[in-house]
Structure formats: structure tokens, C-alpha cells
């Protein structure tokens, strides 16, 4: 089977995680053809990776290679193409298991996205363990994907949803989180990194608190895996979820990691083909994990693309990526401090490069539109975190989020565009 060629940053990849070299951002940028384009006659400055990241050529090439040379449905075929496609999907499972530090490749379930992974846990585990009078604990900084499924579960089961508070910097009140873990708590679900505040939660400690009380812990890793090394076993949680598209992979694939002993005891979420052991008129028995949770034909191309995306970030080195983004965040914070009338929502000491901006007298949507005219792509809105917006008494923010391909010139362009907005609004 052919493997797509490495991109411009290939030499650096060879060094990989062992390298203490800095990320060569100029080389990385060449791996992402879209970054060379213009919008409204200005060079594109892409600052919306927290929503969805851009794709390196190697990801697109891996998907093309599958579709143009190896494509067939997986798992059921005895012919060469089907076996090749199956192998490519199972290779991606191995890569994902290694990427998350999983002990067992069967613990990797491919789903559509983080939202589906969280729903899978809420439906399959939640509906079989949460009873009337029980409690589920979340935090006040959750994305709706890690809030609504638990709220709906609690409403259905007559359980209570508890919400751990955060302070004005956006730091979780860990003491309160621990206190809220009551003898009735069955599940605690919390984000690794907030998609609005950038807060990095102490998920190891939170998972330990859960484990000591027999509470199942679910970590939403949608915002962490693109930016730092993650080891699910070291975190000590029971479930970990993420989406491929934020990790420079395609949209259409996400991952649920769960401890084998818990997954093995869970009933299926979706039923149908590919997830059965045998089907008779009298009843059906189900396949072992992971197939039990992968009903129907999966997005084969996206899974292969995810495998390539994992190779890509592993090749650059997650530590190098994290160090680069830390430096860039510090640079951005210093530059943004000089913009009059601008405040930043989310100032936790442990913070990733997600910057939620609130500008006096300019609505975030207006700000987003003006910045777009300057070529700067940011996201405006509630970022699927309405309870968090309420907590800070804002309807929306303008969010700039940085990734491995951003550099200081992107931050400078953002700051220049903010000044343009101020002048337009006379702010
Ligand atoms: N969790 C967090 C923290 C997110 O930021 C997002 C998406 O923005 C999600 C979950 C949901 O991801 P998806 O829409 O890919 O399911």
C-alpha cells in the first residue's frame, strides 16, 4: 500500500517527539495550502482553529489514496480491496490508541465527532446506571456537547444535574467540585480545555477525586488533543472523547476511548449491521468491543484521514506544538493589552491559546465582520456555551484561537484589525 509523501516539514518530523527543536512554523505553514490564499484581497489570517482546524496536505492525500486506490467497504469483504481498506482503518485505530496512550486498541471507538462520543456514553452507560435521585456532575464551562446530553439524561431519569462553579478568571473551583461529588453522583463529565476561556482543567486530579468515590469520569478532550500530549491512562479517567476535525483531520470522525472493562459491560448505542454476533428471529447477540459500538458503515475515508492527522502532529511533536502555542499566547496577551477598550474573558493561570475578546461598544458579530474584511477569521457568538456566557453576563464573545500554524504575524494582523474596528466605531 502506498503511503502519502511527507510535507514540507518532513525533515522536522523525522526528529519527532524526541527533538527539543522549536516548531518550524514557516515549514508547517507550507503543509497547509489554504493558508496561502487571500480573502477580500488580504492574506488569510486563520484564527478559528478551536472551531475547526485547517488540513495539511498529507491528510487530504491519505484520503485521496484510500478513495483512488484502495476503497471498498470494510470488515465484511474477503477480496483484496476490502482487506486493504479494512487494514487502513485498523491501522488508524492502532495510531489512535497509541496517541491516547490506551492500553488496548479495542478501547478506541470511531464515531462521527466528540458530540456523538459523549452521547454514546450518556445513552449507553448513563441510561443504564443513572436512576431516580442520582446525580451527574458537570462544570460551568462545558460546551453544549458535554452539557445537554447529561441534562437530558437527568431529566429522563429523574436525576439531578450538578454544576461545579468557576471563578471570575474562569478557573474551576476544585474544592467545590470535590464537595459536589456526593454519594449519589454516578458520572462526572468535564472538559479538559475550555473552548471559550482556554482554561486547562486539572483533569488528573478531578479524575482521581472521581475514582476515589467510585464515580465514572468522562473527559471532553475536543480542545486538548490538538495542542498538548494527552495520555488517557495517566489522566486516570474512564472515558475520553475528541473530534478529528479539530486535530487537523477531516470532519466526520470522532473518537471515544473508554476502559475496556466498562465498555464491555455497556449495551449498544446504535444497532444494526456490523455490530452483531448473530441475528435470529428470536433475538440478537452483539459483537465484542469496539465493533459493538460501530454500527453501520463508518466514514472510512475520514478514519484514514484521522490516522494521517495523528501521524502529522506526532511527527511535529506535541511538546514542540505546545511550547510554540504557549509562546504565541504570551505574545498575543502582551499585544492585546495595548488595545484600548478590549478585555479578555478567561485569564486562568493554566490556559491554552484560546482568546475570548470583548470590546467596549462593539458587538462581537460586528467585530467578526470587520475583522473578516481585513482577512482575519475569528468566531463570534456563544460558542455553544450558553451557561458560561450567562455566568459572565455576556451574550457573546469574539474568539481568536491559535494553532500550530499561527505565528506572530497573525497576532499582529489581529491587533491591527482590532484597531481598524475601533476607528470605524469611534470606540
Ligand atoms: N467539546 C468542546 C470543548 C468543543 O469545543 C466542541 C466543539 O467546538 C465539542 C465538544 C463538540 O465537537 P463536535 O462539534 O466536533 O462534536
Instruction: Give the pLDDT band (50/70/90) at residue 31.
Output: very high
What's this model's pTM, rounded to 2 decimal places? 0.95
CATH number of 12-53+317-424: 3.90.1150.10
All three cell numbers of 394: 455576556
CA of 349 to the centre of ligand 1 (A): 23
All three cell numbers of 5: 509523501
Residue nearest to atom 12 of ligand 1 (CA): 114
Query: Same fold for the domain at 12-53+317-424 and the one at 62-314?
Result: no
Residue that wins the pLDDT comparison between 389 and 18: 389
Instruction: Give the pLDDT band (50/70/90) at residue 20.
Output: low
Instruction: Give the pLDDT band (50/70/90) at residue 4.
Output: very low
Q: What is the pLDDT of residue 75?
A: 86
Residues touching ligand 1 (Cβ under 6 Å) are: 51, 113-115, 143, 145-146, 191, 195, 220, 222-223, 243
The rounded percent of the chain whose pLDDT value lies above 70 is: 95
> By C-alpha distance, which of 271, 297, 298 is closest to 285?
271
Q: What is the pLDDT of residue 87?
A: 97
Q: What is the pLDDT of residue 427?
A: 63
Average pLDDT over residues 171-197: 98
All three cell numbers of 158: 429523574
CA of 120 to the centre of ligand 1 (A): 15
CA of 377 to the centre of ligand 1 (A): 19
Domain map of the chain by residue range? 12-53+317-424, 62-314
| Catalytic residue check, 210 | no
Residue nearest to atom 8 of ligand 1 (CA): 51
Nearest-atom number in ligand 1 for the CA of 114 is: 16
Task: List, for residues 52-61, the tens digit of each pLDDT value.
Answer: 999 999 999 9
Q: What is the pLDDT of residue 107?
A: 98
Q: What is the pLDDT of residue 2?
A: 41
Average per-residue pLDDT for the chain:
95
The rounded percent of the chain whose pLDDT value lies above 90 is: 93
Task: List, for residues 362-415, the tens digit of each pLDDT value.
Answer: 999 999 999 999 999 999 999 999 999 999 999 999 999 999 999 999 999 999
Q: Report how far apart the first and last C-alpha atoms of the chain are (Å, whole number).
A: 59
Calpha distance 269→278 (Å, rounded)? 17
Mutate to test the pocket of ligand 1, among 111, 140, 223, 383 (most ligand atoms within 8 A of CB): 223
Nearest-atom number in ligand 1 for the CA of 191 is: 3
Q: What is the pLDDT of residue 15?
A: 46
Residue that wins the pLDDT comparison between 124 and 15: 124
Task: List, for residues 253-310, the tens digit of each pLDDT value.
Answer: 999 999 999 999 999 999 999 999 999 999 999 999 999 999 999 999 999 999 999 9
Mutate to test the pocket of ligand 1, among 222, 239, 246 (most ligand atoms within 8 A of CB): 222
Q: Does domain 62-314 have CATH number 3.40.50.300?
A: no
Instruction: Give the pLDDT band (50/70/90) at residue 210.
Output: very high
Q: What is the pLDDT of residue 114?
A: 98
Residue nearest to atom 7 of ligand 1 (CA): 51
CA 50 distance to own-chain centroid: 8
- Tell me the C-alpha to C-alpha distance, in Å, between residue 126 and each of 94, 205, 214, 269: 27, 23, 15, 11
CA of 381 to the centre of ligand 1 (A): 14
> Does the pLDDT of residue 35 top 60, yes or no?
yes
Instruction: Give the pLDDT band (50/70/90) at residue 150.
Output: very high
H or E, element range at 312: helix 300-316
CA of 265 to the centre of ligand 1 (A): 27
Q: What is the pLDDT of residue 49?
A: 98
Amino acid at each position: 500500500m502506498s503511503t502519502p509523501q511527507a510535507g514540507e516539514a518532513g525533515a522536522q518530523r523525522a526528529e519527532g517527539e524526541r527533538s527539543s527543536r522549536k516548531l518550524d512554523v514557516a515549514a508547517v505553514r507550507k503543509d497547509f495550502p489554504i493558508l496561502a490564499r487571500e480573502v477580500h484581497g488580504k492574506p488569510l489570517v486563520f484564527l478559528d482553529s478551536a472551531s475547526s482546524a485547517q488540513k495539511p496536505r498529507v491528510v487530504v492525500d491519505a484520503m485521496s489514496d484510500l478513495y483512488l486506490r484502495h476503497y471498498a467497504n470494510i470488515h465484511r469483504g474477503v477480496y483484496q480491496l476490502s482487506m486493504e481498506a479494512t487494514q487502513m482503518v485498523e491501522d488508524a485505530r492502532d495510531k489512535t490508541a497509541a496517541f491516547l496512550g490506551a492500553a488496548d486498541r479495542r478501547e478506541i471507538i470511531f464515531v462521527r465527532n466528540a458530540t456523538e462520543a459523549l452521547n454514546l456514553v450518556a445513552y449507553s452507560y448513563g441510561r443504564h446506571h443513572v436512576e431516580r435521585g442520582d446525580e451527574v456532575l458537570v462544570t460551568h464551562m462545558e460546551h453544549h456537547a458535554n452539557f445537554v446530553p447529561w441534562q437530558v439524561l437527568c431529566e429522563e431519569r429523574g436525576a439531578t444535574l450538578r454544576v461545579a462553579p468557576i471563578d471570575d478568571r474562569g478557573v474551576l473551583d476544585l474544592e467545590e467540585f470535590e464537595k459536589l461529588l456526593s454519594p449519589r453522583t454516578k458520572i462526572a463529565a468535564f472538559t479538559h480545555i475550555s473552548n471559550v476561556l482556554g482554561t486547562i482543567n486539572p483533569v488528573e486530579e478531578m479524575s482521581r477525586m472521581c475514582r476515589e468515590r467510585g464515580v465514572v469520569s468522562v473527559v471532553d478532550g475536543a480542545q486538548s488533543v490538538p495542542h498538548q500530549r494527552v495520555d488517557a491512562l495517566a489522566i486516570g479517567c474512564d472515558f475520553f472523547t475528541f473530534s478529528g476535525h479539530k486535530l487537523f483531520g477531516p470532519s466526520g470522525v470522532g473518537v471515544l476511548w473508554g476502559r475496556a472493562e466498562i465498555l464491555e459491560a455497556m449495551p449498544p448505542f446504535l444497532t444494526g449491521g456490523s455490530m452483531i454476533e448473530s441475528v435470529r428471529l428470536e433475538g440478537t447477540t452483539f459483537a465484542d468491543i469496539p465493533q459493538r459500538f460501530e454500527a453501520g458503515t463508518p466514514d472510512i475515508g475520514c478514519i484514514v484521514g484521522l490516522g494521517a492527522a495523528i501521524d502529522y502532529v506526532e511527527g511535529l511533536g506535541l511538546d514542540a506544538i505546545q511550547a510554540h502555542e504557549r509562546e504565541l499566547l504570551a505574545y498575543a496577551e502582551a499585544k492585546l493589552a495595548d488595545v484600548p477598550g478590549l478585555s479578555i474573558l478567561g485569564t486562568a493561570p493554566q490556559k491554552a491559546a484560546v482568546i475570548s475578546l470583548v470590546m467596549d461598544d462593539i458587538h462581537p458579530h460586528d467585530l467578526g465582520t470587520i475583522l473578516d474584511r481585513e482577512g482575519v477569521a475569528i468566531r463570534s457568538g456563544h460558542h455553544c456555551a450558553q451557561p458560561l456566557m450567562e455566568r459572565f453576563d455576556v451574550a457573546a464573545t469574539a474568539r481568536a484561537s491559535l494553532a500550530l500554524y499561527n505565528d506572530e504575524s497573525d497576532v499582529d494582523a489581529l491587533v491591527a484589525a482590532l484597531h481598524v474596528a475601533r476607528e470605524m466605531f469611534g470606540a
